Amino acid sequence: MAYSEKVVDHYENPRNVGSLDKSSIDVGTGIVGAPECGDVMKLQIKIDEDDRIVEAKFKTFGCGSAIASSSLATEWVKGKTLDEALQIKNTEIVEELALPPVKIHCSVLAEDAVRAAISDVKNKRDAGASDKPTAAEQGVS
């Protein structure tokens, strides 16, 4: 199967590869996977006090389409607020990268990772704002 030029570009020059401090209160981490192929994807976001995403990093162990989808997702979420980032749809990723039908699940994975990261940082912030002991408990679990 031939990859589109954009997939190859993201695969060869992935944007924002790396990790953020997952214990930090302003960092949200989403780890998702595809049991069909064993791919795993970690996407992290860092927010400022206005809920705007100032940094995004990813690490994906999987096929070229999964790497490209998560690389693109980190580019897209940067500068967006959490609510804006939630609007990103996997279909937009499919369109941008010209993913074939068999690779649509890779874009779904990237969308899920963004959502998981957003939900993680929201939980952290809510817990931290209302009740410190709860935040500590959540950190343990």
Partner 1 sequence: MPGLRTMTLPSKCLNCDVELSIPIVCGGCHTLYPIPQTANYFDLLGLPQQFDLDGEKLSDTYRAIARNIHPDRFAGQATEMDLLATKLSAQVNEAWRVLKDPVRRAEYLLELANGPSAADCREVPGDLLARVMMLREDLEEARDQSDEQTLTSLRCSIQDERDHAFDNIAKRANDLSLANDTEKKAFRQLLNSIKYFDSLLADFASDPLSQGNPQQ
Active site residues: 37, 106
Among 12, 21, 24, 37, binds partner 1 (CB under 8 A): 37
DSSP secondary structure letters along 8-38: HHHHHS-SSBS---TTSTTEEEEEEEETTTT
Q: Is 68 helix (H, G, I), strand (E, B) or coil?
A: helix
From the list 7-15, 33-41, 66-74, 127-135, the region that binds partner 1 by CB under 8 A is 33-41
Binding mask of the shown chain, residues 40 to 79, with x at each position contacting partner 1 by CB under 8 A? x-x----------------x-x------------------
Among the residue ranges 35-43, 50-58, 91-99, 131-139, the one whose residues contact partner 1 (CB under 8 A):
35-43
Q: How far is the CB of 79 from partner 1 (least distance, A)?
A: 26
Distances (CA, A) of 16 to 9, 72, 128: 13, 9, 27
Contact 50, 31 (CB under 8 A): no
Q: Which stretch binds partner 1 (CB under 8 A): 8-16, 32-40, 46-54, 124-132?
A: 32-40
Minimum CB–partner distance for residue 28 and partner 1 (Å): 14
Going from the C-alpha of 80 to that of each of 8, 72, 98, 103, the distances in angstroms are 25, 14, 23, 26
User: Residue 56 pairs with which residues in a beta bridge?
Assistant: 45
Could you list the residues that contact partner 1 (CB under 8 A)? 31-40, 42, 59, 61
